C-alpha cells in the first residue's frame, strides 16, 4: 500500500493514491495504469459578462477524464472556491463511478468559479448561458460528446438554461434534449432525478445491510431500523438521504450539520421540518427541540451508528479521523474523506461505503434520462396499462380462489403503477444492488483487499481496463 498522504495533499492526490492502492493489487499491462489514471483533457475558459453596467470576468473549467466510453458525463459545479484540481479529481471519480454501476459513460466534470447567491436570477441566467456557449465551442456540451448535469450550486433551472442554449445553437440536432441531464421533467427531464443521489444513498445502505457479515464487521446488527444517523449537509443529497432513511427505513436522524453549526436530538430530528427551517432562516441555529452546536464540524465526531457526510470533499482528515465514533460511514459527497484519513479509519475498524459507489445514484438516473431523450419516449408509456390490467386480474383470481380479499399491503403493491417514477426507482434500486454484490464479492473473496473502497476501485478498473485492452487503438 502507498504511504499516507501529507496534510497538504490535494483532492486529486487523494483520488490518485486510492487508485494506486487498487492498481497495486491488479495485474495490468505495463503503462495501462497511467493511461487509466491520467485526465485526458481540461478546458479552462475566462469570459466577460456585463453585470450592472460593469464587465466581470468569470473563470470556468470542463475536464474529461476518460473517453473509453462516450459521451463524457459529469456534473456542473458553481462554487466560489472551485478550482482545476477539484474538477480533475471529480472527473476521475466520475469515470470509476460510472464503471462500478455499469453506466456506459466516460468521466467528466465542470465548474464555474462563482457564488450563485451574489446574483439576481436574470444575471445568473446570463452568466450560465454565456458559459454554455463557451463550452459548446469545444463540443463540451453535446449529446454524443459531453453531457453535463447538476452538481453543487446548480439544479434543474441551470440545466434548463444550458439545454435551451444548446438547442438555439443547434436547431438541427434531433437529439438536442440529450445534451444535458437533470432538466425539469416538463422539458425532457425524468421524474426521480432530483432525489436520485439521495435515493442512491438509501439503496446503498440497504444493500450493505443485506449482508449480515458486513453489518457485523461494522459492529452493528439487524437492519436500518432504529440506527442513529448523523448527516452533514442538508442540501439536495443530504436532505433526500436523511428523509428516505428516516421515513422509509426507520432510522433516526440524531444530528444534522449545516453551515452555521449543527443540531442534535437523540430521539430523532424531523428532517422535512429542519429543511424548511433552513430555507426560512438560512441555517439550523434556533431550531426547536434540539441542542445547537456552533462548531458544526465537531459533530462529525458525535456518537452514532452511521455517519453520512453529504457536504464537500475533505471533511474528515488526519486532524479529526481518530475522533470519529461512527461505526459505518457512507460517503454521500464526493471525496469527503482524505486518503490519509481513510487509512486511519480503516485501521481503527470503521467500515466505509465509498463515494464512487454510494454517490452513483445521480449519474445512474441521468443515464435513464439520456436514454429517454434519445428514444423520444417516456418510461412506462408502452407497458403501464398492461401491467395494471395483469395485476388486477391476479388480484381478482386470488380473491375468487380463496374467497377472501387480498391483504391491503399486498394489494397496494400489486396495484402500484408502472409509471416513470416507479420505473426509475426500480432501475436505480437494481443498479445499486448489483453493483454492491460485485464489490462485496471482491472484498470478501480476496484476502489482500482490505476494504470496500479498494474493492470498488478494482471492480471499476477491471471494466475500464477491458475496454482499453480489447477495443481502443
CA nearest neighbour of 329 among 456, 442, 449, 220: 220
C-alpha cell belonging to residue 291: 441542542
In the prediction, which pLDDT does 1 show?
42
382 DSSP 8-state letter: T
Rg over CA atoms, the chain: 23
In the prediction, which pLDDT does 5 show?
43
Rounded Cα distance, 96 and 34, in Å: 15
First to last CA, the chain: 31
Looking at the fold, whether 179 and 39 belong to one and the same domain comes out as yes
Q: Does residue 439 sit within a domain?
A: no
Rounded Cα distance, 360 and 435, in Å: 10
Q: What is the CATH number of the domain that holds 304?
A: 3.40.50.720
In the prediction, which pLDDT does 358 show?
98
Which 3 state secondary structure label does DSSP give 154? coil
Rounded Cα distance, 174 and 117, in Å: 35
C-alpha cell belonging to residue 206: 440497504
Q: How many domains does the chain have?
A: 3
Rounded Cα distance, 436 and 430, in Å: 10
| Strand arrangement of the beta sheet that strand 291-293 belongs to | 291-293, 261-264, 252-258, 228-232, 306-309, 328-330, 351-353
Q: Does residue 368 sit within a domain?
A: no
Looking at the fold, whether 39 and 160 belong to one and the same domain comes out as yes
Final residue before a domain boundary, out of 349, 365, 395: 349
User: Which domain covers residue 394, as residue numbers?
Assistant: 384-417
Q: What is the CATH number of the domain that holds 166?
A: 3.40.50.10860
Q: Which pTM does this prediction carry?
A: 0.92
In the prediction, which pLDDT does 473 show?
56
Final residue before a domain boundary, out of 322, 349, 376: 349
- CA 467 to mean position of chain CA atoms: 24
In the prediction, which pLDDT does 419 show?
87
DSSP for 318-367 reads: TTTGGG---SEEE--SSS-B-HHHHHHHHHTT-EEE-HHHHTTHHHHHHH
Q: Does residue 134 sit within a domain?
A: yes
Among all residues, which ones are annotated catalytic? 109
Looking at the fold, whether 256 and 334 belong to one and the same domain comes out as yes
pLDDT averaged per 10 residues, the chain (length 473): 53 94 94 94 97 96 95 96 96 97 97 96 98 96 96 96 97 96 96 96 98 97 97 96 97 97 97 96 95 96 98 94 97 96 96 97 97 92 77 76 79 76 95 98 96 98 93 69
Contact indicator for 41, 107 with CB cutoff of 8 Å: no
Amino acid at each position: 500500500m502507498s504511504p499516507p498522504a501529507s496534510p497538504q495533499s490535494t483532492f486529486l492526490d487523494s483520488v490518485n493514491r486510492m487508485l494506486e492502492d487498487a492498481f497495486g493489487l491488479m495485474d495490468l499491462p505495463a503503462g495501462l495504469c497511467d493511461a487509466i489514471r491520467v485526465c485526458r483533457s481540461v478546458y479552462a475558459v475566462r469570459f466577460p459578462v456585463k453585470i450592472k453596467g460593469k464587465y466581470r470576468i468569470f473563470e470556468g473549467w470542463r475536464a474529461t477524464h476518460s473517453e473509453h466510453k462516450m459521451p463524457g458525463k459529469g456534473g456542473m459545479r458553481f462554487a466560489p472556491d472551485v478550482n482545476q484540481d477539484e474538477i480533475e479529481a471529480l472527473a476521475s471519480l466520475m469515470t470509476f463511478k460510472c464503471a462500478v454501476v455499469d453506466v456506459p459513460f466516460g468521466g467528466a466534470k465542470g465548474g464555474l468559479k462563482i457564488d450563485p447567491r451574489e446574483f439576481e436570477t436574470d444575471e445568473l441566467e446570463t452568466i450560465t448561458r454565456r458559459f454554455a456557449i463557451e463550452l459548446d465551442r469545444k463540443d463540451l456540451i453535446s449529446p454524443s460528446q459531453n453531457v453535463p448535469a447538476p452538481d453543487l450550486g446548480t439544479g434543474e433551472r441551470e440545466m434548463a438554461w444550458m439545454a435551451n442554449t444548446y438547442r438555439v445553437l443547434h436547431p438541427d440536432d434531433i437529439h438536442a434534449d440529450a445534451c444535458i441531464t437533470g432538466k425539469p421533467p416538463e422539458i425532457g427531464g425524468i421524474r426521480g432525478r432530483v432525489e436520485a443521489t439521495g435515493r442512491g444513498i438509501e439503496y446503498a445502505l440497504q444493500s450493505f445491510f443485506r449482508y449480515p457479515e458486513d453489518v457485523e464487521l461494522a459492529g452493528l446488527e439487524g437492519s436500518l431500523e432504529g440506527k442513529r444517523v448523523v448527516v452533514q449537509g442538508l442540501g439536495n443529497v443530504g436532505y433526500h438521504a436523511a428523509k428516505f432513511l428516516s421515513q422509509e427505513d426507520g432510522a433516526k436522524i440524531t444530528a444534522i450539520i449545516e453551515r452555521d453549526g449543527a443540531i442534535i436530538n437523540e430521539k430523532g430530528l424531523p428532517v422535512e421540518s429542519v429543511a424548511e427551517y433552513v430555507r426560512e432562516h438560512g441555517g439550523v441555529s434556533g431550531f426547536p427541540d434540539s441542542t445547537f452546536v456552533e462548531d458544526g464540524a465537531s459533530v462529525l465526531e458525535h456518537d452514532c451508528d452511521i455517519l453520512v457526510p453529504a457536504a464537500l470533499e475533505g471533511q474528515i482528515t488526519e486532524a479529526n479521523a481518530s475522533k470519529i465514533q461512527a461505526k459505518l460511514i457512507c460517503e454521500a459527497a464526493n471525496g469527503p474523506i482524505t486518503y490519509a484519513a481513510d487509512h486511519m479509519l480503516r485501521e481503527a475498524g470503521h467500515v466505509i461505503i465509498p463515494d464512487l459507489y454510494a454517490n452513483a445514484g445521480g449519474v445512474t438516473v441521468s443515464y435513464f434520462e439520456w436514454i429517454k431523450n434519445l428514444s423520444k419516449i417516456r418510461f412506462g408509456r408502452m407497458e403501464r396499462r398492461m401491467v395494471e390490467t395483469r395485476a388486477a386480474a391476479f388480484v381478482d383470481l386470488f380473491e375468487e380462489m380463496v374467497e377472501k380479499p387480498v391483504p391491503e399491503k399486498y394489494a397496494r403493491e400489486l396495484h402500484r403503477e408502472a409509471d416513470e417514477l416507479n420505473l426509475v426507482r426500480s432501475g436505480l434500486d437494481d443498479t445499486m444492488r448489483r453493483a454492491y454484490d460485485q464489490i462485496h464479492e471482491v472484498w470478501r473473496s480476496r484476502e489482500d483487499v482490505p476494504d470496500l473502497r479498494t474493492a470498488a476501485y478494482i471492480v471499476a478498473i477491471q471494466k475500464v481496463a477491458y475496454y482499453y485492452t480489447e477495443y481502443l487503438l
